[in-house]
A and B are shown apart, each in its own frame.
Chain A
Amino acid sequence: MGDIVQIYNDYKDKADFLTVYVREAHPTDEWQMKSNLKDDVCYAQPKTLEQRVAIAKDFTARFKFPLPFGIDEMGNAADNAYAAWPERLYVIDETGHVAYRGGMGPFKYKPAEVRDWLAAKYGAVKHEAPVVTNSPATAAPATASVPASAATTPPTTSNSTK
């Protein structure tokens, strides 16, 4: 199970969440993919912060994205500090240290590992029905480009502290 929104819904009372919008991974003027056309997600790489804000607003509105949201500024400070592009997950502990560092997406973008981290600390949240991953209504940023196998592969390594 690899859906970050589901994880948010399951653990928002235990942990804080922050989505950080970074520069586009597959803009029309760089490396556009067929899936972008299919999903009607076609944007040029923003040249201004206003353009980034506009895309971020489109994203949150389209998916009714519930997580708290911030936008990396044009100097890409957050991206550079966290090696975030195109997508990556972290958990920062209460003392301000990296407790979990996910791999570079899409192939190593594994929300299930974040779920495991949270489950180890706060207990697992059981779902009666299987949760559908990569549903457009619950997609996290850039997960449209995540192969289902990558999003659902159970973690095999532990690169975290709990």
Chain B
Amino acid sequence: MKRLLKWIAGVLTVLLLAAFGALWYMAGSPKDAYGMVRYALPHMHRGTLKVGSDAPDARLLALDGTSHFHIRERVAARPLVLVFGSFT
């Protein structure tokens, strides 16, 4: 039994190291591998929107810093391309 547990622990350790190595390779550095696990992975399967879903609304602030508008206000007679992102 003790020997089996040791084997399981060994295999798990190897798998964890392999996973971290793969993330390191993908992300470019150990710090970025950590960042990927800490910040990106939790977002991988967010959201339930699908093609055909009603487009949700949200209030946005205009660049002037004072006026507001809603995303759905921009849905009109033409398709609306939404580009989400940040500076960094």
Residues of A whose CB lies within 8 Å of any CB of B are 4, 7-8, 11, 14-27, 30-34, 36, 41-43, 49-50, 52-53, 55-60, 67-73, 77-79, 81-94, 96-101, 104-105, 114, 118, 121, 140-145, 159-161
- Assess whether B25 is interfacial by the CB under 8 Å rule: no
Bound: A59/B60 CA distance, A: 17
Bound: A56/B85 CA distance, A: 10
Tell me which residues from 6 to 41 in chain B have a Cβ below 8 Å from any Cβ of chain A.
28-29, 32, 35, 38-40
Is A20 in contact with B71, judged by CB distance below 8 angstroms? yes
- Pair count A-B, CB < 8 A: 206
Chain A residue, CB-CB nearest to B69: A70
- Assess whether B5 is interfacial by the CB under 8 Å rule: no
**For residue A55, which residues in chain B have a CB less than 8 angstroms away from its CB?**
86-87
Is B71 in contact with A161, judged by CB distance below 8 angstroms? no
Is B59 in contact with A92, judged by CB distance below 8 angstroms? no
- Assess whether B82 is interfacial by the CB under 8 Å rule: yes
Is A91 in contact with B83, judged by CB distance below 8 angstroms? no
Is A90 in contact with B63, judged by CB distance below 8 angstroms? no
B87 CB to closest chain A CB, in angstroms? 5
Bound: A137/B86 CA distance, A: 16
B85 touches which one: A49, A60, A77, A86 (CB < 8 A)?
A86
Bound: A72/B61 CA distance, A: 7
Is B59 in contact with A85, judged by CB distance below 8 angstroms? no
**For residue B50, which residues in chain A have a CB less than 8 angstroms away from its CB?**
98, 101
Q: List 11 A-B contacts (CB under 8 A).
A: A17-B83, A21-B85, A57-B63, A58-B87, A81-B58, A82-B58, A82-B82, A82-B84, A85-B86, A92-B55, A101-B50
